[in-house]
């Protein structure tokens, strides 16, 4: 038996959708909760498979995890019992590698396996390890395991990231937060999730400055405590519903989003011909596709504040029904066009070469049997199915639940015809 999602065209998406806490902020902050020696309460934690796997990793390491309600979690890491991560859980999710920095800081040693996750590229961890080495850790690794240790504790340093990797920036920030002296990260990632992590570390008693800019300065402290912290809204989830509003020529109010975090999406949706009202003071945007002619555009994924790679697949689904030619250039991951084959099954006209995909817009997609090749690809196929003629059946849906909290309920709330079935 395999679970599938069935979607069909039920007209425009209309109404209001409320965005939840960001997966990509919740995961590093859950990892950073290993640093605190007093209870931590996290609010607006999205209900996702990735979050529950990550919490199991923490429990394995000795943290006490308690759900206060569906999306509020209490974590107590005052008595950690292990610095060795569980292989079976780690292999399920790349982000689990983020426990390495905090464990190195707390124990001076950590043993972990290489991370799993979406197969969207080679996704090495060399920059994470370069950072740990610069902080004075010794790294021993083979093809499956990595051990990092330090005899005399981590020491602050100045380091430059060759690429502004989100995960490497987070792992280094967490390790450096308890190192001796000051660490300076040049060319760090500037994503909003980096800023959320810095704010969280500071609330625990850390000293992190400059997150969100090109230089982050971290003064190490001896001990971090506890706090209550709400996770920032998920900009990728917001963007997904915005693209859905555009594709179905609908009219959707997206509530609980930080408008400045989604400015590239707003700009590109306007470029393809939608009307977008940004109500920054109220943390809302309204996307109107109703009555608009959708015209092709070019997008190029880049580290923040550029166009997010995590919205590339959804936007490609949109461009495939925009009039004229579009180009999508993926510069962040080297293998993130797996959704192209699935969109082709639905009648899209797309040709890829290296980092580029050329799209010739078609008036309508048609329903087909497809599979969610990764998390965001799965979302793109749901959106495509909402506008296609006939029924779309999506397999390998577990990818989708890794990252979208109640996607079926939220889309139904906007009038979509979408169901889960067992086959």
- Positions that interact with ligand UD1 (CB under 6 A): 24, 27, 94-95, 121-128, 163, 165-168, 189, 193, 309-310, 332-333
Question: Which CB atom, from 239 or from 274, has the smaller least distance to ligand UD1?
Answer: 239
Question: Which CB atom, from 24 or from 248, has the smaller least distance to ligand UD1?
Answer: 24
Instruction: Tell the smallest beta-carbon distance from residue 223 to ligand UD1 (Å).
Output: 27
Contact, 340 vs 371, CB < 8 A? no
| Alpha-carbon gap, residue 281 to 66, rounded angstroms | 34
End-to-end CA distance of the chain: 5
Tell me whether residue 274 is one of the annotated catalytic residues.
no
Question: Which CB atom, from 193 or from 405, has the smaller least distance to ligand UD1?
Answer: 193
As beta bridge partners, residue 230 has: 43
Six-digit token string for 411: 């889309």
Question: Which CB atom, from 35 or from 418, has the smaller least distance to ligand UD1?
Answer: 35
Six-digit token string for 9: 């065209």
Six-digit token string for 354: 């290296």
Cis preceding-peptide flag for 305 (omega within 30 of 0): yes
* Cβ-proximal residue to ligand UD1, closest one: 167
| Alpha-carbon gap, residue 47 to 68, rounded angstroms | 13
Active-site residue identified among 118, 257, 274, 322:
118
Instruction: Tell the smallest beta-carbon distance from residue 114 to ligand UD1 (Å).
Output: 11
Instruction: Tell the smallest beta-carbon distance from residue 409 to ligand UD1 (Å).
Output: 23
Instruction: Tell the smallest beta-carbon distance from residue 307 to ligand UD1 (Å).
Output: 11
Question: Which CB atom, from 146 or from 179, has the smaller least distance to ligand UD1?
Answer: 146
Classify the C-alpha dihedral 57-304-250-246 as positive or negative: negative
What value, to the nearest 5°, has the Cα angle with vertex 270 and ends 266 and 275? 95
Instruction: Tell the smallest beta-carbon distance from residue 187 to ligand UD1 (Å).
Output: 12
Contact, 190 vs 212, CB < 8 A? yes
> Any idea which residues carry the catalytic annotation?
118
């Amino acid at each position: 038996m395999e679970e599938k999602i069935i979607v069909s065209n039920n007209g425009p998406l209309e109404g209001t959708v409320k965005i939840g806490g960001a997966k990509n902020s919740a995961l590093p902050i859950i990892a950073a909760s290993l640093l605190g020696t007093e209870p931590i309460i996290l609010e607006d934690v999205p209900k996702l498979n990735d979050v529950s796997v990550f919490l199991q990793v923490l429990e394995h390491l000795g943290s006490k995890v308690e759900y206060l309600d569906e999306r509020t979690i209490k974590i107590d890491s005052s008595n950690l019992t292990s610095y060795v991560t569980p292989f079976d859980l780690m292999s399920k999710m790349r982000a689990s590698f983020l426990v390495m920095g905090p464990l190195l800081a707390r124990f001076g040693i950590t043993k972990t396996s290489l991370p799993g996750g979406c197969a969207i590229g080679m996704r090495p961890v060399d920059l994470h390890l370069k950072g740990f080495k610069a902080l004075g850790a010794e790294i021993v690794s083979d093809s499956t395991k990595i051990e990092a240790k330090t005899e005399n504790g981590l020491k602050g340093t100045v380091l430059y990231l060759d690429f502004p990797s989100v995960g490497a920036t987070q792992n280094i920030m967490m390790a450096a937060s308890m190192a001796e002296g000051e660490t300076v990260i040049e060319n760090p990632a500037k994503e909003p999730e980096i800023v959320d992590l810095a704010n969280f570390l500071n609330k625990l008693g850390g000293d992190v400055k400059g997150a969100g800019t090109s230089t982050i300065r971290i003064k190490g402290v001896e001990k971090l405590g506890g706090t209550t912290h709400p996770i920032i809204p998920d900009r990728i989830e917001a963007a997904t519903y915005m693209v859905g509003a555009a594709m179905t020529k609908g009219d959707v109010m997206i509530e609980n989003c930080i408008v400045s975090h989604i400015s590239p999406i707003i700009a590109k949706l306007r470029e393809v011909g939608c009307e977008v009202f940004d109500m920054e003071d109220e943390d809302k945007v309204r996307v109107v596709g109703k009555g608009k002619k959708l015209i092709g555009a070019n997008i190029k994924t880049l580290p923040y504040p550029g166009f997010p790679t995590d919205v590339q697949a959804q936007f490609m689904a949109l461009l495939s029904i925009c009039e004229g030619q579009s180009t999508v250039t993926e510069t962040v991951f080297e293998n993130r066009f797996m959704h192209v084959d699935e969109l082709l099954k639905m009648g899209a006209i797309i040709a890829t070469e290296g980092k580029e995909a050329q799209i010739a817009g078609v008036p309508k997609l048609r329903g087909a049997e497809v599979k969610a090749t990764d998390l965001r690809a799965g979302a793109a196929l749901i959106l495509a199915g909402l506008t296609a003629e006939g029924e779309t059946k999506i397999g390998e849906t577990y990818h989708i639940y890794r990252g979208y909290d109640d996607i079926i309920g939220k889309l139904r709330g906007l009038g979509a015809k979408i169901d889960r079935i067992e086959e």
